[in-house]
Chain A
Amino acid sequence: MSTKTSAPTQTAADQAVSKFLEYTHASTAAYFDACVHCGECAEACHFYLSTKNPIYTPIYKLQPMLKAYKRHKAPLSSIKRLFGLVPEQITKQELEEWSPLVYDSCNMCGRCTLACPMGIDIAFTIRKMREGFVAADIVPGDLRQSEKNALETGSPMRVQAKALQAQVRAQEKDCGIAIELDKKGADYLVILSSMEIMGYPEVIGSLAKIFKEAGIDWTISTKAYEATNVGIQIGSWDTARTLVQRVVDEAEHLGVKYVISPECGHAYSALRWQGPNLIGRSYDFEVIHIIELLHQLTTEGRLQMKSKNGRRLTLHDPCQIVRRGGLVKEPRALLNDVADHFEEMQGAGITNFCCGGGGGVSANSRAAKLQASAFECKMQQFNDIDGLELIVTPCANCRTVLEDGLEEHDSPLEVIGLSELLAQHLDHRQT
């Protein structure tokens, strides 16, 4: 490809194209070459379904990366070029116009892959394509700010260690259990999302109760407490690697055996699945999702419930934990332990709808209107369950998005995290 440019605007486009090509691996090339333009992916996408606007067809959102591939990298493209049959060079203006499709209308939820006859992983290809947009600096301002915050303070919301310590002390007081910070040699290191620390700090107290009951030796670090990874959302390999490395360094410094990924969808994906690839090596510890651990503890009989929740409740599946993380049965088994009236919504499990806020969309104010529109698909799922009173979700970001959406609809439905619900019904007989 040509990297020589005559104008600054072209330089940005060329940088984007370079990244597009760098991230076009064999899988991406196969996706581009296998797509038959059937449009079935649209029927799985809440942004299309709620707007009926064909520009929100998932595969269409990949056009800039597809064009770069066809022009520069596709096998036989050199022969096609002789006949003028390759796409035009991408321009910065084109990328700027495309930015809302890349950042505002895709949660990287991966539901479209399930409907695609070719099995194309559009979500992960969007993740790769965002690398090009970052290289060209065509990124929504809010996400750029979150990235800056995360790199400077460790938290996209600028939650600093003092704030964490204050929340931990308040929770210690509430639940009457001491929480040791920065404990060397602990078995488990808990990391949290800023949303949990500031919005739902009771999750810290809930974990303290659960871990005391199960006899878990755990700690929270004041140096690496943030689980979220804005680099994954914005599409910056360097930022994603830096943020993962902080957690890895601290976990290995403390000598923990496990790092517990919290109730946050993309945090699990970032540390568990993408992390080793980002830093270029495997870890000296294991990553376990809190849902996996809770399931393991109940299965082993180390946690028992003294009562069940009597309200009619359902489970919202966070995409990165369930559909793309493989934890389908675990949250259901836990809920069945603690709920009398657990009812699945239509499409529950790997075909469930996204909340509409994943993939950085909820942090991107430019996307607010579209996100609210996409939430209609989720709302419909709730409305289809007669007498629904409570929604359980093991993701703090989903929880925030659901609460905001429900408030917009003047809905009396409540939302709660899974760990918190379990802690409320825990049998303390063993302590």
Chain B
Amino acid sequence: MTFLEFVEGPAWYVAITIFTIGVLWRFLGIIAIGRRTDMSAPKGSASAGFVKAIFRHFLPRTIFAERTRVHILGGYSFHLGLFILLFFAAPHVVFIKAHILGFGWPALPRWAFIIAAQAAFAGLILLWVRRICDPVMRQISDWDDHVGTILTFLVMLTGCLALQESVEALRALHMLFVNIWLIYFPFSRLMHAFTFILSRGYTGATYGHRGIVP
């Protein structure tokens, strides 16, 4: 078994299993903690508030937009770029078809891949530089923030290096970092990719009950 076969075979299945079980464990574990039933007379719908808040917080409020523009720019640039790469980069579509779903979909042309990759890199670097330089972010950041950022950066970097698919070692290196990233994910703040639903939703439910969505 070559190293590539190992990272795309047994190591991949171990990583994706840890990722799946870990994410479900943590997500469902949070829900299982439970919360008190609100006994106050409702003025609005908690369920509607839950859903509304999930979408409301995708958009910054105007009054804060100027002060938080670096985050808005960096955040949207990185996340949109990453999602496009993750689901529409040609090698990913092939991999998903072969190893996960059994079917694929049209992939991005190369020029679109380049744009998405540049947006993702620019956003991630912008957010990371800010994490290091901004006094507020420095105050509240911990090792997990940096490890998560570095791992994501390495996954993206090795992915770009492997794009040509001309050197097997580069593809293997990319898959190695993907596997590490997947194993790290459920134990880290990267989980925000899923827990944001609960965080926004619970607040939306609390205040939806009061007839307002903050």
Contacts and interface: CB of A to CB of B under 8 A. Distances in A.
Interface of A: 24-27, 29-31, 33-40, 42-44, 48, 52, 54-55, 57, 59-60, 73-76, 79-80, 85, 110, 113-121, 124, 272-277, 280-283, 286-287, 323-326, 328, 346-347, 350-351
A346 B186 CA distance: 42
Chain B binding surface SS class? helix
Contacts of B167: none
Interface stretch (B114-122, B153-161, B204-212): B204-212
Interface string B174-214: 00000000000011010110011011111110110011101
B199 A118 contact: yes
A272 B40 contact: yes
B187 A34 contact: no
B30 interface: yes
Contacts of A37: 131, 137, 140-142, 145, 189
A25 to B, nearest CB: 4
Contacts of A347: 63
Question: Top 4 A-B pairs ranked by shortest CB distance?
Answer: A75-B29, A34-B199, A27-B202, A30-B198
B40 A275 contact: yes
Interface in B21-40: 22, 25-26, 28-36, 38-40
B129 interface: no
Nearest to B54: A119
Given A39-B137, A80-B187, A282-B39, A119 B214 contact: yes
B41 A350 contact: no
B57 interface: yes
Interface residues of B, number: 60
A31 to B, nearest CB: 5
Given A27-B206, A76-B187, A282-B41, A38 B71 contact: yes
A48 B136 contact: yes
A183 B135 CA distance: 59
B138 interface: yes
B200 to A, nearest CB: 4
A152 to B, nearest CB: 28
B32 to A, nearest CB: 8
Contact of A33 (B26, B41, B75): B26
A405 B212 CA distance: 30
Contacts of B39: 276-277, 280-282
A26 B198 CA distance: 9
Contact of B40 (A52, A79, A273, A346): A273
Given A37-B145, A119-B203, 20 more contacts: A25-B35, A26-B33, A26-B198, A33-B30, A33-B199, A34-B199, A34-B200, A37-B131, A37-B137, A39-B134, A40-B68, A44-B64, A76-B186, A113-B214, A117-B196, A119-B201, A325-B212, A326-B44, A346-B63, A350-B212
Given A48-B136, A119-B57, A350-B212, A274 B25 contact: no
A241 to B, nearest CB: 13
B63 to A, nearest CB: 5
Nearest to B57: A119
B149 to A, nearest CB: 10
A30 B189 contact: no
Contacts of A120: 199, 203
Interface of B: 22, 25-26, 28-36, 38-41, 43-44, 53, 56-57, 60-61, 63-64, 67-68, 71, 75, 131, 134-142, 145, 186-187, 189, 191-192, 195-196, 198-204, 206-207, 210-212, 214
Nearest to B25: A75
Given A33-B26, A34-B195, A118 B200 contact: yes
Nearest to A280: B39
B79 to A, nearest CB: 10
Contacts of B196: 34, 117-118
Given A39-B137, A119-B53, A274 B199 contact: no
Given A38-B71, A277-B36, A326-B210, A115 B61 contact: yes
A113 B53 CA distance: 11
Contacts of B189: 33, 35-37
Given A25-B36, A36-B189, A326 B211 contact: yes
25 contacts: A26-B31, A26-B32, A27-B203, A30-B30, A36-B192, A44-B64, A52-B135, A60-B140, A74-B26, A76-B22, A113-B214, A115-B61, A115-B68, A117-B57, A118-B192, A119-B56, A119-B57, A119-B201, A121-B206, A273-B210, A277-B38, A287-B41, A324-B207, A347-B63, A351-B61
B40 A274 contact: yes
A350 B142 contact: no
A173 to B, nearest CB: 38
Contacts of B141: 37
Contacts of B192: 33-36, 118
Contact of A325 (B25, B30, B195, B210): B210
B144 to A, nearest CB: 9
A118 B198 CA distance: 9
A381 B140 CA distance: 29
Nearest to A271: B40
Nearest to A79: B187
B53 A57 contact: no
Contacts of A277: 36, 38-40
A66 B14 CA distance: 30
Nearest to A352: B63
Contacts of B212: 323-326, 328, 350
A274 B38 CA distance: 8
Nearest to B141: A37
